[in-house]
Chains A and B, each alone.
Chain A
Amino acid sequence: MSTHQHTITALVQNEAGTINRLVSLFRRRGFSLASFNAGDCEDPGYSRLTFIVNGDDAVVSQCLKQLNKLIDVIECEDLEPEHSVQRELALIRVEPTSEQRAAVHGIVSEFMARTPRTTATTIVVEQVSDVASLERLIAALMPYNVTEIVRTGTVAIKV
């Protein structure tokens, strides 16, 4: 079985220690967590989380079962790419020279990204997209003095 990335979403009851307990499970059982996102959801008092997990099918199956055993976890699921929408938001601060600014704006426009704030010396680029497209945008901006990148990790929803 080959190792690849799985997108797991979980609905959890929000109590003191819940996030600690979830992340502790990944550490303790050696599951490889590539990214992790948590936020409020349609149920008050509950959160929905998205985990990106590296592993073969057996590992991911065991990971799902162990997550399900946690009392806080209401349900969890391994989302298939073809039956889900998966997005990540990134904020990228670029500090190009004045000669490079036009090129940066050109890249932003090409990737249909946004620039919510600019100053005389910096451009903050905002992008919401699938991870592959995001990685391409970052690669394209790298020559123009990228000074900080902040990413949310993937969030995913079943279709």
Chain B
Amino acid sequence: MNRSGAKIVMEALVREGVDTIFGYPGGVVLPLYDEMLNWPQVRHVLVRHEQCAAHMADGYARATGNVGVCLATSGPGATNLVTGIATAIMDGIPMVAITGNVNSWAIGKDAFQETDIQGITIPITKHNYLVTNIDELPQVLAEAFYLANTGRKGPVLVDIPKDVFTATTSAPFPTTISRRGYTVPGAPPKDQIEEAVRLIKGAKRPVMIAGAGVLHSGAMEELRYFAETTKIPVINSLLGLGSIPRDHELSLGMMGMHGEATGTLAVQEADLVLGIGIRFDDRLTGNTSGFAPKAKIVHFDLDPSEIGKTVTPVAWVVGDLKASLSAVNKLIEPQDRPEWLAQIKKWQSAYPLIVPQGRFLSRTVLKALNDHTKGEAIVATDVGQHQMWTAQFYRMKKPLSFLSSGGLGTMGYGFPAAMGAKFARPDEEVWAVVGDGGFQMTLQELQTAVEYNCNVKICLLNNGFLGMVRQWQELFYDNRHSHVAMGSPDFGKLADAYGVQFYRCSRMEDIADTLKGASEHDGPVLCEFVVEMEENVFPMVGPGASNSALVMDPDLEPSEAAHKAGAFETTHAGALHV
């Protein structure tokens, strides 16, 4: 049956089970927006800036594991998606971005609102399409969803000229998708599994670093069984948080530049490091020449190009992580390693994360947020100090409940991502943890939250600075503050103007009540916490330094326990000045 390109797009969304899309109309997508009125089963969320449509689609995807969809018009609409698409590719988030373009006969003639969005997004998409033939549209859309959500996931952009939305075709959707040269990784080769198991059985001080790959492949149960059977402690990359409950006895939390000391120290002392669905990025490894100096590295990943990209493993297991860990689990036997686990306990007691008492700090608030939600809410962060503190202090109990722009480090991400998560999982409590800097990049979405009664709770940590940049200026630029002091509007008046419930909290004793009040309010809430201005994130590995040069929190008293923990000479914050 002949139907229009616009109708085919809506059909594709329904076929793929998409219940919500995030978009913004404009000239060339008018035929699609008109058709949309006939499809009440697909909710369209009208954002206030296309970047946030992409971030909401990203949050929707991270909170569910399903493909998030965003939609924009040609030219500036399309280019506004770019930051959100780049955020998604870095973190392997399944997303389909649909853009309109000028009529196909006008392409290349610098028509009004024309831009080469296919060319622009080549380096930041898994794949992209410019569809100039209506007969190809069903196949392209089906393929776009398939590519976005299989193998190493990522954003796929489909650019559709206006005349293709209105042209008609009887071309059917494909019943199966196969693309020559594209195979979805399955179980790894048997010899790779056997070699990994041999190394695991022989290890005395093994650790594993579990990353986002575990969450993408849904291998949480397999990971937990593997850890519990072998008694191998589980460290996380930033985006791997949630792959094991944070209160699990083998969970050591995040490692790396601002990770917990125990994980970072354990990797430096380990004789075997299993990288499970991580890409050994620079924030995790520090200077790679000093990374895990005593360890053999075994890398589990589904993407062959990650093997050997930044560190050199002695063995690797390339395949879907759920299949890989299942295969490993069949060959392992229960092990115990009391000495190694005792050493780790010593580090934990010697170098805990601390919240100095009697001060109104970001950490004070985030510790309280963790206590308030019991680690059961979905938390999306922005980027900067508060992001690291959330990673440190939020002890998530469930997977798909920590959303953060890890790879690209996109300020402005947290609030719209939280909204995307709330649209996807309305029954969950969703918090956005943001700073005063990043929040001002995307706060126009308060209006979107109000219109859709998107019941997100915003924990705004206002320290009047771009805190992480200020911290680096303090540590590496002789404390010369260059353009990091940041003014803000009166957030109370701003919330009033948008009609958003607002609480300002500047006293320690009010924190718990503020959080409680926010949770109990039916609708979006902005909670502003006026925290101390100059608080730094520790532990810290300086940029370009080895993880062995871990700098502990200067407020951490070197205790008797620390001396007993031994094995490591930690440095004082002053050492970072070099």
Give A contacts to B, CB under 8 Å.
11, 13, 15-17, 20-21, 24-25, 28, 58, 61-62, 65-66, 68-75
Contact = CB atoms under 8 A, between A and B. Distances in A.
B198 interface: no
B566 interface: no
Contacts of B127: 70-72
Nearest to A17: B118
Contact of A61 (B126, B152, B180, B308): B308
A73 B127 CA distance: 11
A28 B120 CA distance: 13
Contacts of B338: none
Contacts of B118: 16-17
Nearest to A23: B122
B119 A74 contact: no
Contact of A58 (B128, B181, B308): B308
A71 B126 contact: yes
B2 interface: no
Contacts of A70: 127
Nearest to A15: B129
Contact of B181 (A15, A25, A74): A74
Nearest to B143: A71
Given A20-B122, A21-B122, A13 B181 contact: yes
B308 A17 contact: no
A65 B305 contact: yes
B182 interface: yes
Given A17-B130, A28-B123, 11 more contacts: A13-B180, A16-B130, A20-B119, A58-B308, A62-B305, A65-B304, A65-B305, A65-B307, A72-B127, A74-B180, A75-B181
Contacts of B152: 69
Interface string B110-123: 00000000110011
A127 B257 CA distance: 57
Contacts of B128: 17
A69 B179 CA distance: 13
B147 interface: yes
A66 B180 contact: no
Contacts of B303: 69
B309 interface: yes
B123 A71 contact: no
Interface size range of chain B in the complex: 20 to 34
Contacts of B304: 65, 68
Contacts of B129: 15
A11 B181 CA distance: 9
A71 B305 contact: no
B308 A62 contact: yes
A35 to B, nearest CB: 21
27 contacts: A11-B181, A13-B181, A15-B129, A16-B132, A17-B118, A17-B119, A17-B122, A17-B128, A20-B119, A21-B122, A24-B123, A25-B123, A58-B308, A62-B305, A62-B308, A65-B304, A65-B305, A65-B307, A68-B305, A69-B303, A70-B127, A71-B126, A71-B127, A71-B147, A71-B179, A71-B181, A72-B127
B145 to A, nearest CB: 14
Contacts of A74: 180-181
B364 to A, nearest CB: 43
B444 to A, nearest CB: 32
Nearest to B306: A65
A74 B178 CA distance: 12
A61 B118 CA distance: 28
A68 to B, nearest CB: 7
Contacts of A58: 308
B541 to A, nearest CB: 25
A28 to B, nearest CB: 5
Nearest to A65: B305
Contacts of B180: 13, 74
Interface in B264-321: 303-305, 307-309
Contacts of B305: 62, 65-66, 68-69
A58 B182 CA distance: 23
Nearest to A27: B123
Contacts of A73: 181
A37 B304 CA distance: 26
Contacts of B309: 62
Contacts of B179: 71
The 4 closest A-B pairs by CB, nearest first: A74-B181, A65-B305, A71-B127, A28-B123
Contacts of B181: 11, 13, 71-75
Interface in B552-578: none
Contacts of B307: 65
B115 to A, nearest CB: 14
A74 B307 CA distance: 20
B182 A71 contact: yes
A71 B184 CA distance: 12
B491 to A, nearest CB: 40
B301 to A, nearest CB: 11
A65 B304 CA distance: 7
Contacts of B308: 58, 61-62
Of B129, B305, B307, the most chain A CB neighbours within 10 A belong to B305
Of A20, A69, A70, the most chain B CB neighbours within 10 A belong to A69
A60 to B, nearest CB: 12
A88 to B, nearest CB: 27
Contacts of A61: 308
Nearest to B123: A28
